[in-house]
Amino acid sequence: MVVEMSRDEFEDAVRDGLDMVPADLAALMDNVVVLVEDDAPAEEPELLGLYEGVPLTERGQFWAAGSLPDRITIFRNPTLAICDTREDVVEEVAITVVHEIAHHFGIDDDRLHELGWA
C-alpha cells in the first residue's frame, strides 16, 4: 500500500529534513539547490534521492564560483512506495536529505553505510 501524501506535504517533509541539518553545517553548503520530483529517472526507478554536482572536496582553485548550482533531488513516488505510514515518510525523507547532503560534502556511499545514513 502506497502512503498518500500531497506534493505540498512531501515538500514540507523535505523542508523539515533540511531543518534537521545543524546550522553550522548548513552554512558550509555552497551553491546547491534542493528539489522535489515525483519520479526517479527511468534507469533507476527506485531511487529516493540523487546528488548531481561537484562535491566540495573536489572543487579546486579553478572551480568557477559562477557555476550552476549542484542539485539534490528527492523523489516523491519511490519514497511513498516504500513507506507504510506518514511518519515513515518523514523519517525516510530526513535520512535521504542527510544522505544527499553528505555527497555534497564528498562523503561516499560506503562511508554513509558505516555511519548508518544509507
The C-alpha atoms of residue 18 and residue 101 are separated, in whole angstroms, by: 9
**What pTM was computed for the model?**
0.91
**Ranges of the chain with pLDDT below 70:** 65
- Please write the tens of the pLDDT for every residue from 1-25: 778 999 999 999 999 999 999 899 8
The per-residue pLDDT for 65 is 66
- Please write the tens of the pLDDT for every residue from 25-35: 899 898 899 99
The per-residue pLDDT for 62 is 73
Domain boundaries along the sequence of the chain = 7-115
Q: Which fold has domain 7-115?
A: Zincin-like (3.30.2010)
**Ordered DSSP codes for 19-69:** HTS-HHHHTT--SEEEEEESS--TTSTT--EEEES--GGG--TTS-TTSPP
